[in-house]
Structure 1
């Protein structure tokens, strides 16, 4: 696994498209029990090289009921985004994850993670990639029907502060989804 992670961290596949240059950010171990598949690093994560090292990460850990020390233990949580590098800014926020990363690297990573019991699919890009035709008509419906994807996958909305309005419009998320997420993670950990 170490050799594969080193190879990924040296990746320059889409360098020409990255405004801040390549800096693949991920963490994993052969012993990882939970896989966190998000979108792509933001500027703060790019600067630090630490996945989910921002407001979104704090909110995600709150939903999960885990502290930073546990979250950053790769023997518990593997963190493999859809795009490993900061993709740049768009009109409504960061651009989508680069399309090269997941098809190039995810299969090889997953082959070396035999102990993963649950994969968190955070946001529409991860859900589309991993659920394919099984995903519902939109992110809200996919997350609302999260039990359809258990025990292997747990779809979530992105914990970005930009999604606070979504969370207010969908109180069932905090009432039903977050407690079940905490419960399932507690059973695994």
Structure 2
């Protein structure tokens, strides 16, 4: 297995799908072998592409609120790893950002996940991450999130925290009333072990 330093250097220099990326390659991820929580997301948006900081947008603000943690904790790679399904901004389609580029996960994901031996909680955000992490599930995002107890306490499917999902949150009040308090308690418990 390659060293983490070498692997991250290779990932950050990746140009595999450069011709298909409207803003060019800029892989955005956060990883340290000590991380106890893994956030498996979709792909960076244009604002994250510009800053190079994962979840440095309104989605990130909502996600940190869901987790009950500060920016400082969120961006401590020794506590939280952030590995989207695609590391670069894929471009914009008719109803939001395009799906993560299909080349990214098969090329890098298993190598990077193998570095994370201390992860106790994986947060699986959105349909593309859920298709990868729950390959035997034929459920929609809503159905999978509603059945969250099936994967608890090691994995948790979540809807995307994007403002585009405000209507989903309004239609599913149980999510913030029932699931979020349990999630915040679990996050606090896991992070209490982080060094």
Question: Which TM bucket (shorter chain)?
Answer: over 0.9
Instruction: Work out the CA distance in 1 between the residues paired with 2:178 and 2:98.
Output: 30
Match of 1:162 among 136, 150, 164: 164
User: Secondary structure of 2:16's match?
Assistant: coil
Aligned pairs, number? 188
User: Secondary structure of 2:49's match?
Assistant: helix
1:112 aligns with 2:115: yes
Structure 1 match to 2:78? 75
Instruction: Work out the CA distance in 2 between the residues paired with 1:3 and 1:84.
Output: 17
User: Secondary structure of 2:90's match?
Assistant: coil
Question: Mind listing any 5+ residue stretches in structure 2 that lack a counterpart?
Answer: none
Aligned pairs for 1:39-58 (under 5 A) are 39-58=42-61
| Structure 2 CA distance for partners of 1:136 and 1:171, relative to 1, 3 Å | farther
Deviation, structure 1 residue 136:
4.8
Question: Mind listing any 5+ residue stretches in structure 1 that lack a counterpart?
Answer: none
Structure 2 match to 1:179? 181
User: Secondary structure of 1:132's match?
Assistant: coil
User: Secondary structure of 2:88's match?
Assistant: coil
Alpha-carbon deviations, 1:8-67, whole Å to 9, x = none?
Answer: 010011111000000000010010110001100001100000000000000000000000
Instruction: Work out the CA distance in 2 between the residues paired with 1:20 and 1:125.
Output: 21
Instruction: Work out the CA distance in 1 between the residues paired with 2:184 and 2:8.
Output: 28
Deviation, structure 1 residue 100:
1.1
The answer to which of 178-187 and 44-53 deviates more is 178-187
